[in-house]
Chains A and B, each alone.
Chain A
Amino acid sequence: MNRREALARLFAITGTLAVGGELFLSGCRAPEAEKRTVAFSAADIALLDEIAETIIPATDTPGAKAAKVGPFMAMTAHDCYDDASYASLRGGLTKIDAASRKHHGKTFMDSTPPERTALLNELDAEQRTSTLNRTAGEPPHYFRLMKELTLIGYFSSEIGCTKALRYVESPGSYDGNVPYSKGDRAWYNPSRRIG
């Protein structure tokens, strides 16, 4: 099964482009040597924080920046990604600024929140098309990786688990027929296997 078939299969299973699918499928690729030559700088992490905050902004609950998603993205990309995904994500930091300059004539950091949102919505559409048409061996689109890491980092954080979602360490019982009203928060499931 090549990568594209594998992706198509995953969509068939879940009916969606599930987050974490990319990481799951990276199991098809061989890992590389241990060392990472290029690390994330403080400026990189600040940029990742702002990207994450644009993807998951503060509303009546804290956003991605409060949940320290930027440092999480840098840490997990460094520790968990294969070289191709790592290079894609890192390259994305430059590409985002280039795209921002093209659209708004300034860097991402210098852009207003509405400008940032507009740009990232475009990049989200771009990554969606790119993911669906990707061929075997091609690294994932950088913005797909950024979005995935943002969602994982946010919802698995203490803020994500306890403020955005609900989490009970030891439920103590199971009830498979609980009334649900629109607006009730989803549970965080700690057994989710990602990557």
Chain B
Amino acid sequence: MPSQQYDAIVVGSGITGGLAAKELCERGLKVLMLERGRNVEHVKDYVNATKAPWELAHRGMTARKYAIEYPQLRKARLLWEPVAEFFADEQDCPYVETKPFDWVRGYQVGGRSLTWGRLCLRWSDVDFEANAIEGVGTDWPIRYKDLAPWYDQVERFAGVSGTNEGIPHLPDGQFLPPMHLNVVEQSVAARIKEHWKGQRHLIIGRTANLTQQHDGRGACQYRDKCVMGCPFGAYFSTQSATLPAAMKTGNLTLRPFSIARRVLYDRNTRRATGVEIVDAETNKTYEFTAQVVFVCASTFNSTWLLMNSATDVWPGGLGSSSGELGHNAMDHHGRVGASGLVDGFDDKYVYGRRPTGFYVPRFANLGDDRRGYVRGFAYQGSANRQEWNRDIAELGIGAPMKEALREPGPWNIGFTGFGETLPYHDNRTYLDTQTKDKWGLPVLAFACEIRDNEKSMRKDMMADAAEMLTAAGVKNVKENDDGYTFGRTVHEMGTARMGTDPKSSVLNGNNQVWDAMNVFVTDGACMASSGCVNPSLTYMALTARAVDFAVNELKRKNL
């Protein structure tokens, strides 16, 4: 059996894996980055990115073939033919829904960094302290001050455009010049600010889209086709940012088609010795050894890898000593909000396709705003003039309809909510050994659901959106609840949480697995609560911080 030695192995090549590899390589370590899926080469493999609309196979519609191949993605209403191949093959890689669950996966080099929503928002101590204050779950082992310098570093590297607003629970950052609210959004923002006396805000999205050239990457061209891959490298992805930086060091080996099957564990040293993989193309097994292993396989796949690394020492999987591995799964519950029409701006329009919207930071359960549940929610949205697909009943068919649809319609504005989900011990994922994937590996089963706290919050998420739009002068305001299935927001978190006590957590405050201190888990699996703030930037900051710790510990020969 071939064996190869590296200083560090990174499992996964998405947002956190790519960053871990880059940071480790730049600190001089020889790094092997494992990716279970195919390679996706920057620009070359963005096959639909530069096609005109009329050149797309079904012009933005999705062929039945994809609906059959991607039933889960379709159920989550995220299936779209031009980007379907950036998502996991559901036939080869099934999962089990003990309760309804949407698991949206990106199995290729770059993972979901190719298709993510790109909002980069800092968490605050409102988020990090909530578990401790309320006695929910377990306390975070870190506070905002521990992450602040790492937020600075990853924002500077990734290139995040946005505005500093002085909002205490949405800390300011190291931003490139912002994108801009359009004229209608500015009007709504001003009226909300006035009505709530500066306590509620509507701000431009803080987004990993470049508003100017940055480290050799091109500026955003306002095409709004990010999910197809950006030929200018103008949004942060593994391909545009971390992979080239890591490659530049000469220290990185990238191995696609490599399914990490287990972390190899030495019972005598109580350390990991490396990673065993299955070559996804040949089915052959290989072992790679390293001094340190970063598990960045995406929230539930990181937990899967720990579970599948069971030994007679740890029969429940590596990191299972607390009994919490696989538990406390979270997501942001969403797809609820309100929308309406805006009068008075028929003489205004936009130029360009801005690839982000606005953000309304949390206000519930802050200051004097107290609710009958704990935690809170935020909104994303945008205002646009309606397009050709609006239906005008009285115009029927023919030339009058055609001419009407050639002009933009009324301005429409919508808010959609992102609510915090509490860490419930019973919301869990576990190995289903009866169901196997294409490589004979057991798959994950999910038993997760939102409960009373989230259900109460959803009513406010809908009503408050309508209230704010109405207060801002928006007409025909309609509330909507599009239904939520766990996982659907693709902000999955938890199942290997950080904590202060090895009896109740899987990872310590440096993202080390308590049971194997040279194994670090730095993706969404590590989260002890979910906040209502988009989590990717926090994963990145945690990753950079953990790498710094790991490298220093290696130098001190403590790992």
- Measured in the bound complex, the distance between the Cα atoms of B540 and A182 in whole Å is 47
Using A171-B223, A171-B352 as known contacts, say yes or no to A79 and B65 having CB atoms under 8 A apart: yes
- Which residues of B are found within 8 Å of A158, using beta-carbon distances? 52, 54
> How many Å lie between the Cα of A17 and that of B393 in the bound state?
8
| Given the contacts A120-B397, A128-B393, A174-B352, A192 and B387 also touching, CB distance less than 8 Å | yes
A186 pairs with B60, CB closer than 8 A: no
A34 touching B353 by the CB < 8 A rule? no
Q: Judge if B407 is at the interface, Cβ distance under 8 Å.
A: yes
Given the interface contacts A27-B75, A161-B52, does A171 sit within 8 Å of B353 by beta carbon? Answer: yes
- Mark the stretch among A38-46, A54-62, A93-101, A133-141 that contacts chain B: A54-62
Find chain B residues with CB under 8 A from A56 CB: 401-402
One of B15-23, B248-256, B300-308, B473-481 contacting the partner: B473-481
CB <8 Å contact, A152 and B59: yes
Contact A170 B221 (CB under 8 A): yes
Interface residues on B, range: 35 or more
Residue in contact with B347 in the complex, picked from A120, A181, A188, CB distance below 8 Å: A181
Q: How far is the CB of B357 from chain A (nearest CB, A)?
A: 11
For the complex formed, measure the closest distance between the CB of B107 and the CB atoms of chain A, giving whole angstroms. Answer: 22
Partner of A171, one of B221, B341, B390: B221
Give the total of A residues in contact with B, Cβ under 8 Å: 78
- Of B222, B403, B406, B478, chain A has the most CB atoms within 10 Å of the CB of B406
Query: Smallest CB–CB gap between A21 and chain B, Å?
Result: 9
Q: Which of B331-382 contact A (CB under 8 A)?
A: 339-341, 346-354
Residue A92 interfacial (CB < 8 Å): no
**B64 touching A125, Cβ below 8 Å:** no
Q: Do B405 and A155 touch (CB < 8 A)?
A: yes
B133 beta carbon closer than 8 Å to chain A: no
Interface 1/0 per residue, B175-210 and A, CB below 8 Å = 000011111011000000000000000000000000
Q: Does A185 contact B (CB under 8 A)?
A: yes
CB contacts (< 8 Å) of A164 on chain B: these are 402, 406
Q: Does chain A have a CB within 8 A of B398?
A: yes
Q: Chain A residue with minimal CB distance to B481?
A: A9
Which residue numbers of B lie inside 8 Å of A, CB to CB?
A: 50, 52-54, 56, 58-65, 67-68, 71, 74-75, 77, 79-80, 179-183, 185-186, 221-225, 339-341, 346-354, 385-393, 396-399, 401-403, 405-409, 412, 414, 476, 478-483
Q: Residues of A at under 8 Å CB distance from B? A: 1, 9, 12-20, 23-24, 27, 31-32, 34, 54-57, 59, 61, 63, 72, 75-76, 79-82, 117, 120-121, 124-125, 128, 147, 151-153, 155-158, 160-161, 164-165, 167-195
The contact sample of 30 A-B pairs, CB cut-off 8 A, is A9-B480, A12-B479, A15-B412, A27-B77, A34-B68, A54-B398, A72-B59, A79-B63, A80-B62, A80-B64, A121-B397, A156-B56, A167-B53, A173-B351, A173-B352, A176-B180, A176-B354, A178-B348, A179-B348, A184-B408, A186-B387, A187-B350, A189-B353, A190-B53, A190-B225, A191-B353, A192-B60, A193-B80, A194-B389, A195-B62
